[in-house]
C-alpha cells in the first residue's frame, strides 16, 4: 500500500489496463492524471466519481504537448509517472507493414521517452520519483507477425534496464512491467490465440503491487513468465525452428 497521498501521471489511460490502474490509485485517494488521444472514451460516471482525477487530451508522440501536460500536472506535485500508452499490430502478418511499423515504434518507444523526459526534469530537482514503463513479454523475443511490436517493447525493456542502473543514485526508481495477454480493447483486436489471458482488473492489481514494491522488472502471469524465460534462453536456431512449426502459427484461420 502507498500510505501517503501521491501525484500519479498515467498515459494511455482512457481505457484498458491504464484506466483500471488509474481507478485503483484513485480509490486509495491519490491524485491521478490520465491522458489519451480521445478523452471522450472516458466514461462520464468515472469522471464524476473522482475529484482527484485530472484529464489531458494529448498524443504521446507529440513531444511538446507531453512536456506541457506533465509540467502542468507537476505544479501540484509528481511522484510517479506511468508510460502506458502503446499500440500493436492487431492482425498478424508475415509480410511487414512498414507504415504500421513506423507508427508502432514512434508511439511505443518515442512515446515513452516523451513521457519520461519532463518527469525526469522534475524528479532531478526533488531527488525522488518513480518511472514506470509498460512493456510486454513480446519484447523478450522476436514474435512471428509482430516484428515492430516486439522490437518496440524490447527497446523499452533495455531503455529502462539502463535507467535502473543510472538513476537510483539520483533517488529515482525505475520499474518495467512485462504483461502477457490482458483483456483490453487493444488485445480484442488480435486475430490470434492468447494463452493465459487475464482480466484487466487482475492485471492492474498485479501491476500496482509491483509498482508499490518498486520491482525493477516484473513479468506476469507466472505461466507466461516461465514460457517466455525458456523461449528467450533457447539457442536462437532452435527458437526459429519452433516458431516455424504449425503450433506456433498465431493466426486463427
Question: Is residue 197 exposed (0-12), middle (13-18) or buried (19+ Cβ within 10 Å)?
Answer: middle
Class of domain 7-248: alpha beta
What are the pLDDT digits (tens) for 158-178? 999 999 999 999 999 999 999
**Predicted pLDDT at 244:** 85
User: Are residues 34 and 16 in contact, defined by beta-carbon separation less than 8 angstroms?
Assistant: no
The radius of gyration computed from the CA coordinates of the chain, to the nearest angstrom, equals: 18
Determine the Cα–Cα distance for residues 72 and 53; give it in Å rounded to an integer: 14
The contacts of residue 133 (CB under 8 Å, 6+ apart) are 82, 83, 112, 116, 156, 159, 160, 175, 176, 177
The contacts of residue 204 (CB under 8 Å, 6+ apart) are 17, 20, 21, 23, 24
* Residue 3: pLDDT band with limits 50, 70, 90: low
The catalytic position among 149, 163, 218, 250 is 149
Determine the Cα–Cα distance for residues 46 and 149; give it in Å rounded to an integer: 30
- Residue 198 in grid coordinates: 487475464
**Predicted pLDDT at 185:** 62
Active-site residue 250, yes or no?
no
**Predicted pLDDT at 245:** 76
CB atoms within 10 A of CB 9: 26
Please report the beta strands in the chain, taking only residues with DSSP state E, as ranges in sequence order: 7-10, 31-36, 53-57, 80-83, 129-134, 172-179, 182-183, 198-199, 217-220
**CA dist list (Å): 66 to 37, 138, 159, 241:** 11, 26, 19, 43
**Predicted pLDDT at 182:** 86
* Residue 1: pLDDT band with limits 50, 70, 90: very low
Amino acid at each position: 500500500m502507498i500510505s501517503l497521498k501521491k501525484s500519479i501521471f498515467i498515459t494511455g489511460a482512457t481505457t484498458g489496463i491504464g484506466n483500471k490502474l488509474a481507478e485503483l490509485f484513485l480509490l486509495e485517494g491519490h491524485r491521478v492524471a490520465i491522458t489519451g488521444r480521445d478523452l471522450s472514451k472516458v466514461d462520464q460516471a468515472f469522471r464524476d466519481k473522482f475529484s482527484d482525477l485530472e484529464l489531458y487530451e494529448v498524443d504521446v508522440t507529440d513531444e511538446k504537448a507531453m512536456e506541457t501536460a506533465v509540467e502542468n500536472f507537476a505544479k501540484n506535485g509528481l511522484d510517479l509517472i506511468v508510460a502506458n500508452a502503446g499500440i500493436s499490430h492487431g492482425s498478424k502478418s508475415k509480410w511487414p507493414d512498414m507504415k504500421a511499423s513506423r507508427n508502432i515504434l514512434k508511439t511505443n518507444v518515442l512515446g515513452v521517452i516523451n513521457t519520461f523526459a519532463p518527469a525526469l526534469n522534475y524528479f532531478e530537482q526533488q531527488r525522488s520519483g518513480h518511472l514506470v514503463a509498460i512493456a510486454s513479454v513480446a519484447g523478450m523475443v522476436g514474435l512471428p507477425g509482430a516484428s515492430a511490436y516486439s522490437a518496440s517493447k524490447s527497446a523499452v525493456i533495455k531503455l529502462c534496464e539502463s535507467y535502473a542502473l543510472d538513476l537510483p543514485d539520483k533517488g529515482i526508481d525505475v520499474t518495467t512491467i512485462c504483461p502477457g495477454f490482458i483483456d483490453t480493447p487493444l488485445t480484442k483486436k488480435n486475430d490470434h490465440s492468447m494463452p493465459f489471458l487475464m482480466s484487466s482488473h487482475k492485471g492492474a492489481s498485479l501491476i500496482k503491487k509491483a509498482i508499490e514494491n518498486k520491482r525493477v522488472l516484473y513479468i506476469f502471469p507466472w505461466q507466461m513468465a516461465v514460457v517466455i524465460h525458456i523461449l528467450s534462453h533457447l539457442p536462437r536456431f532452435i527458437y526459429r525452428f519452433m516458431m516455424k512449426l504449425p503450433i506456433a502459427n498465431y493466426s486463427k484461420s
